[in-house]
Amino acid sequence: MKVGIIGCGRIAFEAHIPAYKKYNVEVVGVCDLIEDRAKKAAEELGISFYCMDARELAEYSEVELIDIATPPYGRRDLLKTLYKSNKPMLIQKPLSYDLDEAKEICKEIKNNKIIAAVNHNARWAPVSVKIKELLQEKELGEIYQIHHINRFNENLKSWYTDVNNYIFLDHGLHYFDLIRLFSDKTPIQVSAISRNVPGQLAKCELLYTVNFKFDNLLVVSLYFNNLVPAPYAFDCQWFIDGTKASIKATLDSISIQRFSGEDVPMTKVEGDWVPEGFLGAYEALVHAIKTKKIPPHSPEDHLETLKMAIAAAKSASSGGKWVDIN
């Protein structure tokens, strides 16, 4: 389907546009409030249509699907201007930093009969897809523990690091969503702790420890240091343990250790989170449209992940008390 992009900021240039260009998805128009950015995106894509009015982009006859790559601020008002176009939408996550507003957005999307999905692109990162395949094939047996470690650096002054609880509600949302994907369950309670580091540039907390409680014996823990000083120390690891075997995975590799002793050594997985994950979110929406099914990353499904993040932020603000997820 021919795509129109609204929002030509960092994420559009680093992920959306590269994904569409690499896989020959036809982008026919772009829009941004800042004309120079819209023009730059159009030049990058080799197209002529760009504008500064979202309604103009939505009404452009060539656009069949709208990719919304704007920040969550003002998201509800932006969407209201687009419903009349009756075109499918792929919306950057989260719908809102406020759960009640996100719920209202979901209602409005449904009432306007818009086919929409939220861009939970980490689900389609190649390693995530491989992990999910192994879990569906019962290679690990019954899962009893998931452990995630992330080491990165977003210690900078920006609109997103100025957001209170950004590490839960935005960046960390990817990993909370993957917990749901891998476990096929939504946790019932969460306990979280987050911290600032003296002298950091970002206003938001950059460290967290999160524990999720499920209605079975599954144990889930996540650790995030978002203040790692150098790229060579960045890391992203998953450890998933089952009654038959365990998985260790990074952003680009995976290994299986079996109790039988038949281990699979760490092997490279082809592709990367960017751009393959972003292409996957687009393709899953297109497939849902063509088959007239609900997208797996529907706004309603997104709410279940957002509830986890909101509850984690609430727990962190109370010093780690267990908080119900509802």
Q: Does residue 299 sit within a domain?
A: no
Contact 319, 193 (CB under 8 A): yes
Q: Does residue 316 sit within a domain?
A: yes
Q: Does residue 280 sit within a domain?
A: no
Q: Do residues 240 and 312 both lie within one domain?
A: yes
Q: Do residues 95 and 45 both lie within one domain?
A: yes
Q: Do residues 168 and 42 both lie within one domain?
A: no
- The whole-angstrom separation of Cα 57 and Cα 48 is 12
**Domain stop point among 61, 88, 114:** 114
Estimate to the nearest angstrom the gap between the alpha carbon of 74 and the chain centroid.
19
Residue 145 dihedral angles phi and psi, to the nearest 5°: -155, 140
Estimate to the nearest angstrom the gap between the alpha carbon of 199 and the chain centroid.
29
Per-position pLDDT tens, the chain of length 326:
999 999 999 999 999 999 999 999 999 999 999 999 999 999 999 999 999 999 999 999 999 999 999 999 999 999 999 999 999 999 999 999 999 999 999 999 999 999 999 999 999 999 999 999 999 999 999 999 999 999 999 999 999 999 999 999 999 999 999 999 999 999 999 999 999 999 999 999 999 999 999 999 899 999 999 999 999 999 999 999 999 999 999 999 999 999 988 888 999 999 999 999 999 999 999 999 999 999 999 999 999 999 999 999 999 999 999 999 99
Q: Do residues 233 and 130 both lie within one domain?
A: yes
Tell me whether residue 122 is exposed, middle or buried, using C-beta atoms within 10 angstroms of its C-beta: 0 to 12, 13 to 18, 19 or more. Answer: buried
At 67, list the tokens.
Answer: 């990719």
The total number of residues shown for the chain amounts to 326
- The whole-angstrom separation of Cα 93 and Cα 23 is 22
**Cα angle 127-180-96, degrees, rounded to a multiple of 5:** 105
Q: Does residue 189 sit within a domain?
A: yes
Q: Do residues 101 and 191 both lie within one domain?
A: no
Q: Do residues 177 and 320 both lie within one domain?
A: yes
Domain residue limits at 268: 123-272+306-324
Contact 31, 57 (CB under 8 A): yes
**Domain stop point among 114, 145, 180:** 114
Per DSSP bridges, beta strands 323-324 and 189-195 are antiparallel
Q: Does residue 163 sit within a domain?
A: yes
Contact 87, 63 (CB under 8 A): yes
**Domain stop point among 81, 114, 147:** 114
Q: Strands across the sheet with 207-213, in order?
A: 264-268, 253-258, 245-249, 235-242, 143-151, 219-225, 207-213, 189-195, 323-324
Report DSSP letters for 254-308, one per residue: EEEEETTS--EEEEEPSS-IIIIIHHHHHHHHHHHHHHT---TT-HHHHHHHHHH
Q: Does residue 294 sit within a domain?
A: no
Q: Which helix (H) or strand (E) holds 178?
A: helix 173-183
